[in-house]
Amino acid sequence: MALALVMFRESSLLTGGTTGLSFLMHYLADWPLGVSLVVLNLPFYAFGLRALGLAFTIKTFCAVAVLALYTETLPLLVSFDVLNPVFASIMAGLLAGTGILILIRHGASLGGVTILGLYLQKRRGWRAGSVQMVADILIMALGLLALSLDKIALSILAAAAVNLVIAVNHRPDRYFGI
């Protein structure tokens, strides 16, 4: 997941969910991406406790904290002399989808919008995927404040790659997860 975020950042791309909002804070206000990830997720842990329980919330908190740390330290270990933005979009999307799938399989998430979606699904009967999709559309639209239209188009391609990995591989009947 952290490598995917480094590729997104290096290519000036955007992703969805709370991570996408963190990217916007990074691009617009020059906040460190890792700090933004932690700060934006803090209010969502209350939803996580109510909707998905203590174990899920603790795992999610740890996943976000480790991701934030890795996102800031990984560039000290890896750099890109050349990173084609189309390649970065697709590859980072596939990596992110794989990372999200692993977290789902282990009863965790990367927080934020996912937690809110699951909370609203449980409490209001709204489909979590629909909540996530609406949020992602809004985040991509807000992305126009910071990125060019071609970068938003590549970010949408990345979102398609993320969702392809999850749609093809997410099999809740094989494991205990969300």
Q: Which of 165, 74, 65 is nearest to 110 (CA)?
A: 65
Q: What is the CA radius of gyration of the chain?
A: 15
Residue 13 has pLDDT above 70, yes or no: yes
Q: Which of 20, 18, 17, 3 is nearest to 151 (CA)?
A: 20
Q: Which of 1, 73, 3, 8 is nearest to 34 (CA)?
A: 73
Over residues 60-85, the pLDDT tens digits come to 999 999 999 999 999 999 999 999 99
Task: State pTM to two decimals.
Answer: 0.88
Of these ranges, 43-57, 68-82, 94-108, the one predicted with the greatest mean pLDDT is 68-82
